[in-house]
A and B are shown apart, each in its own frame.
Chain A
Amino acid sequence: MSQLQIPMSVVDLKKMAATIRCDIIEMICTASAGHPGGSLSATDLVTALYFRLMRIDPANPRWPERDRFILSKGHACPVWYSALAERGFFDKSHLGTLRRLGSILQGHPDMNKVPGIDMTTGSLGHGLSVGIGMALAGRLQKKDYHVWVVIGDGESQEGSVWEAAMAGTKWKLDNLTAILDRNNLQNDSYVDEIMPIEPVADKWRAFGWNTVEIDGHRMEEIVPALEGAKTFKGVPTIIIANTVKGKGVSYMENVCEWHGKAPCREEADRALEEIRRCSCEQ
């Protein structure tokens, strides 16, 4: 692969997102297990962060001045693993080892195994609180890094998310941004059916957060929203990103079963073809 031009243009970000989507399908198919739906819904957001917004150094993954990223919905880690590998944190050959015995790529991300993973996640409702801690520590240490946390909409049913919401406002953590991957589905069914979180934007506003709503798949909206969040002062920002679970693979889109199911080889090939064709059309 040729040298990456960082920060990427919107056009290149879209191409990278397609590459990452292909990685996700390939990884989960090879592993015969994993969570494609929520990985694909978060892909454009994670791509914009890793290839445009975040201050990071793949050669020095624990650089103290780096921006932090937490994928609080840790089951979507194939998107994180792919972004890190494509960005050069570790060799892409690891992607084929997802969930295998001895692999650095656990079923849910482990910060002590993977270069670039800033926090171990998997149990839902932890990540935003961890981000609160990182943001408080950054301020205390007079560091100007930014903390980015992706949370899920199903995850938002966890009470601890709202404990963190209160804390973010109390301490005016404008060095912290939450991104809600609102894909409307969770393990069992629609979020609205299992336990509604709406009106979620009003809730965050009521908690005192700078609340921005975007189409979580349009790079033209994602990039300025993230840039705005980084510079917004006084309170933390939440970007409510409206997404489609399984985005980019027609038979997975908005289908609950693809939350935690691996495609077989034939299904994966169809998915890869769709993603590549769509990317070329752009």
Chain B
Amino acid sequence: MSNNPYRFVRPEVVAILSSKDFFKRVESKPTRASYAETILAIGEKDSRVVVLDADVSKSIGTNKFAEKFPERSFNFGIAEQNMFAAAAGMATTGMIPFASTYAVFASMRALDMVRNSIHYPRLNVKIAASHSGITPGPDGVTHQGQEDLSIMRSIAGSTVIAPADPISTKLAVWAAAEFQGPVYLSFTRDPVPVIYGPDFPFTIGKAVVVREGKDAAIIANRDLVIQSLLAAEHLAASGIDVRVIDCHTIKPLDIDMILQAAEETGAIVTAENNIIYGGLGSAVAEVLAENRPTVMKRVGVQDTFAESGPYHELIDKYGLSARHIVAAVKEVLKRKQP
């Protein structure tokens, strides 16, 4: 046990990481569902919390909040622009609105409202975005928010969080509620494994080492953290010892943790279910290029739109699964200075 390199990962998960049918055996849940449960609990404690929907409350699960707190639930219909600007108006009065919709609509359809009426005046609105990345597999391209992290990261003063599993999602939603100012929360449509135990330390802006390792470091977020852990377990079998960092907050970025990983391992791979332009990979590359040039490789959605398909087949086809991360690690190790 003393040689267990995993940190905060549930022992039941560690035990089956090398299993061929890992995803069949592991307990899984979409992080949107974890959001919906958590907001219900937060709503009990804080009467300033209101939930705004745009006709996808049944999909996200916020309809449960609407049933429990009908007077604090507002369904704006299919009108995301109105919803986000109204959220801003509510926030001016001291309410804490959680405006919930899909990532494509939050980060693109209503971006002008999100930028000008929420971020510029620094209003205390929480943007709860499900269907981030190509996680809504079967729905296809129009509902796959593969750019949301890139777009949201570019807005001045934004805080952007993409939690990896239902446990860290719960902590992220609580942290967002307690944070003063706009927060963008990104959730998955498809189920992801429950990776962490209750001791997972969640602080906005603080990345977490979830596997110790010295040969290379994989910096990942959202649903690619588990893929990175699977990749690390696979590499360990061939004697390659890889660190895995859950970089749940893409902004503000944990620069110290990234530089430490670069210094101690000398080879970096980033893994994100997001277009490679402007997301986690870009953010890490910026930090390394300006502070400590290090060999690196970005795993992410390449310059393409995806398609409909079951989640696991889809992320495999588009280069986001554990085997692609393994290949990326092997590539950076070849390029790493001896």
A-B interface contact total, Cβ < 8 Å: 107
Chain A residues with CB under 8 Å of B82's CB are 129, 132, 160, 163-164, 166-167
CA distance A119 to B113 in the complex (A): 13
Output the least CB separation between A16 and chain B (Å): 27
CA distance A129 to B118 in the complex (A): 12
Beta-carbon contact of B121 and A137 below 8 Å: no
Q: Tell yes or no: B87 within 8 A of A by CB.
A: yes
**Given A112-B122, A137-B93: A159 and B86 interface contact (C-beta under 8 Å):** no
Output the least CB separation between B51 and chain A (Å): 12
Q: Tell yes or no: B37 within 8 A of A by CB.
A: no
Q: Indicate which residue in B72, B90, B92, B113 contacts A126 across the interface (CB closer than 8 Å).
A: B113
**Given A163-B79, A166-B77: A120 and B90 interface contact (C-beta under 8 Å):** no
Q: Tell yes or no: B174 within 8 A of A by CB.
A: no
Beta-carbon contact of A133 and B90 below 8 Å: yes
What is the 8 Å Cβ interface bit string for chain A, positions 98-131, against chain B (1 contact, 0 not)? 0000000000001110000011101101110111
CA distance A174 to B85 in the complex (A): 19
Beta-carbon contact of A129 and B81 below 8 Å: yes
Q: Tell yes or no: B95 within 8 A of A by CB.
A: yes
Beta-carbon contact of B92 and A136 below 8 Å: no
Q: Tell yes or no: B303 within 8 A of A by CB.
A: no
Chain B residues with CB under 8 Å of A137's CB are 50, 89-90, 92-95
Output the least CB separation between A71 and chain B (Å): 13
Number of interface residues of B (CB under 8 A): 30
Q: Tell yes or no: A64 within 8 A of B by CB.
A: yes
Output the least CB separation between A73 and chain B (Å): 14
What is the 8 Å Cβ interface bit string for chain B, positions 58-77, against chain A (1 contact, 0 not)? 00000000000001101011
CA distance A166 to B82 in the complex (A): 10
Beta-carbon contact of B72 and A129 below 8 Å: no
What is the 8 Å Cβ interface bit string for chain B, positions 72-109, against chain A (1 contact, 0 not)? 10101101011111111111111101000000000000
Q: Indicate which residue in B95, B117, B122 contacts A130 across the interface (CB closer than 8 Å).
A: B117
Beta-carbon contact of B120 and A120 below 8 Å: yes
Chain A residues with CB under 8 Å of B142's CB are none
Per DSSP, are chain B's interface residues mostly helix, strand or loop, or mixed?
helix
Output the least CB separation between B101 and chain A (Å): 13
Indicate the member of A129, A164, A171 with the most B CB atoms within 10 Å.
Answer: A129
Q: Tell yes or no: B203 within 8 A of A by CB.
A: no
Q: Tell yes or no: B116 within 8 A of A by CB.
A: yes
CA distance A168 to B97 in the complex (A): 18
Q: Indicate which residue in A120, A134, A135 contacts B121 across the interface (CB closer than 8 Å).
A: A120
**Given A123-B116, A126-B117: A132 and B86 interface contact (C-beta under 8 Å):** yes
CA distance A236 to B216 in the complex (A): 62
Output the least CB separation between A271 and chain B (Å): 31
Q: Tell yes or no: B112 within 8 A of A by CB.
A: yes
CA distance A216 to B172 in the complex (A): 50
Q: Indicate which residue in B81, B91, B93, B112 contacts A163 across the interface (CB closer than 8 Å).
A: B81
Beta-carbon contact of A130 and B86 below 8 Å: yes
Output the least CB separation between A268 and chain B (Å): 31
Task: Closest B residue to A143 by CB, please name it.
Answer: B93
Output the least CB separation between B76 and chain A (Å): 6
Q: Tell yes or no: A140 within 8 A of B by CB.
A: yes
Chain A residues with CB under 8 Å of B74's CB are 136, 171
Q: Indicate which residue in A136, A160, A164, A167 contacts B90 across the interface (CB closer than 8 Å).
A: A136
Q: Indicate which residue in A111, A127, A140 contacts B71 across the interface (CB closer than 8 Å).
A: A140
CA distance A52 to B116 in the complex (A): 31
CA distance A134 to B50 in the complex (A): 13
Chain B residues with CB under 8 Å of A136's CB are 74, 86, 89-90
CA distance A140 to B74 in the complex (A): 11
Output the least CB separation between B173 and chain A (Å): 21
Q: Indicate which residue in B79, B95, B97, B112 contacts A123 across the interface (CB closer than 8 Å).
A: B112
CA distance A125 to B112 in the complex (A): 10
Output the least CB separation between A51 and chain B (Å): 23
Q: Indicate which residue in B86, B112, B120 contacts A133 across the interface (CB closer than 8 Å).
A: B86
CA distance A132 to B87 in the complex (A): 9
Beta-carbon contact of A140 and B86 below 8 Å: no
CA distance A110 to B89 in the complex (A): 14
Task: Closest A residue to B52 by CB, please name it.
Answer: A133
Beta-carbon contact of A159 and B116 below 8 Å: no
What are 27 A-B pairs with beta-carbon distances under 8 A? A110-B121, A111-B121, A112-B121, A118-B92, A119-B92, A120-B120, A126-B112, A126-B116, A127-B85, A129-B81, A129-B84, A129-B117, A132-B89, A133-B88, A133-B92, A134-B90, A134-B92, A134-B93, A137-B95, A140-B72, A141-B95, A160-B85, A163-B76, A167-B77, A167-B79, A167-B82, A167-B86
What are the 10 tightest A-B residue pairs by CB atom distance, in nearest-first order?
A133-B89, A129-B85, A133-B86, A163-B82, A130-B89, A163-B79, A137-B93, A160-B81, A133-B90, A120-B121
Binding site for A on B (CB under 8 A): 50, 71-72, 74, 76-77, 79, 81-95, 97, 112-113, 116-117, 120-122
A163-B76, A164-B82 known; 7 new pairs, CB 8 Å cut-off, are A64-B94, A132-B86, A133-B86, A133-B89, A133-B97, A163-B81, A167-B86
